[in-house]
């Protein structure tokens, strides 16, 4: 279906390898469809005992996100039809991995952002290295933390999830291990060895347990107390006030980060976290996120954010509204409202 992903079975391991290096293996609709096809075929194949997700050797990765440039074009040119199709297939992939009946492992060896988070976080084993760079940077482009982030981020220690959503902070491999975003930390040369042993028939948990090393001291741990205190409020304005009222240099830096992001993204993320508590399962969360994605991709902020970050690269987006206090509860209600008949997201059966 596409040359940007390779699927094969090696020694009972269904292996999914991302092969789109020029875009840091960012996901396209065709890539999501190819991954889904493989996962569905392997689900009931008794010769496949586990699934491994990685990126092509010798390239940067793991996965930098999704094809937001295409989604932007779709929003501007075809009423969002192609963009919604992308999110529909991507979220089905996220849910399929989350509910997969066989062990799954993702090698987060490199940039792991957006769509890469959606690929890795549902997996039973999530391997970080010194090359891991994890982030949910959607606030910079006027989207929102999706691909299941409404489920994962609120479950991180303390207020770490809010911190990541509102600042787009980048975590290294050790920090991912500390936060529970990774299950194992391997040295760089241990990744190839882990794959070799897995593909030779050894069990994933035994291989990773044998090769895991002690991670460096996570930098984020030193700021955990401040994160839990300053990001505790439920409202974006209150978090901004808390940061502004703190005299520490760290608070000033994070205040600048929060205020640079799309105000609507911040508001939506906090509503998303609160609403996830009412979701009965992961499918319900993904249905909620699909509603939000279908609306957020059509807003001015998304087109403007992608323009500022990826097209013109002036990093000077003009958000509308540009202040959190100008975003009403009604505006958020409209973004989270159910879609029309036949338009809702559904998982695979």
**HSE-up of 98 (CA within 13 Å, CB side)?**
22
Q: How far apart are CA 233 and CA 321, in angstroms?
A: 21
- Which two tokens mark 287? 């249905």
Q: CB neighbours of 253 closer than 8 A, spacing ≥ 6?
A: none
Q: How far apart are CA 348 and CA 329, in angstroms?
A: 33
- Which two tokens mark 128? 């970080």
Catalytic residues: 66, 115, 138, 146
Task: Please report where in the chains the tokens 């787009």 appear, as a residue.
Answer: 168
């Amino acid at each position: 279906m596409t040359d940007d992903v390779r699927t094969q079975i090696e020694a009972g391991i269904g292996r999914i390898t991302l092969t789109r290096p020029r875009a840091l293996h960012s996901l396209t609709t065709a890539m999501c469809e190819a991954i889904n096809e493989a996962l569905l075929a392997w689900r009931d194949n008794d010769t496949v005992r586990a699934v491994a997700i990685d990126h092509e050797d010798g390239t940067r990765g793991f996965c930098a996100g999704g094809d937001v440039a295409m989604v932007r074009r779709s929003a501007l040119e075809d009423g969002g039809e192609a963009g919604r199709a992308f999110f529909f297939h991507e979220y089905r992939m996220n849910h399929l991995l989350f509910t997969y009946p066989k062990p799954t492992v993702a090698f987060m060896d490199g940039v792991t952002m957006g769509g890469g988070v959606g690929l890795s976080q549902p997996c039973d084993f999530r391997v970080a290295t010194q090359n891991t760079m994890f982030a949910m940077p959607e606030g910079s482009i006027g989207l929102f933390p999706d691909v299941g982030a409404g489920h994962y981020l609120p479950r991180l220690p303390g207020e770490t999830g809010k911190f990541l959503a509102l600042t787009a902070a980048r975590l290294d491999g050790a920090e991912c291990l500390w936060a529970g975003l990774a299950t194992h930390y391997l040295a760089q040369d241990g990744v190839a060895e882990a794959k070799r042993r897995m593909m030779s028939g050894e069990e994933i948990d035994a291989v990773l347990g044998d090769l895991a090393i002690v991670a460096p001291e996570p930098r984020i741990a030193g700021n955990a107390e401040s994160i839990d205190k300053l990001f505790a409020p439920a409202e974006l304005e209150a978090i901004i006030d808390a940061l502004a009222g703190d005299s520490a240099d760290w608070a000033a830096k994070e205040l600048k980060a929060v205020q640079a992001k799309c105000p609507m993204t911040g508001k939506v993320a906090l509503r998303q976290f609160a609403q996830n508590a009412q979701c009965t399962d992961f499918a319900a969360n993904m249905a909620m996120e699909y509603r939000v994605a279908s609306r957020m991709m059509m807003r001015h902020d998304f087109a403007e954010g992608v323009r500022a970050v990826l097209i013109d690269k002036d990093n000077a987006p003009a958000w509308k509204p540009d202040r959190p206090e100008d975003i009403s509860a009604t505006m958020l209600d409209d973004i989270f409202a159910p879609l029309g008949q036949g338009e809702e997201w559904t998982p695979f059966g």
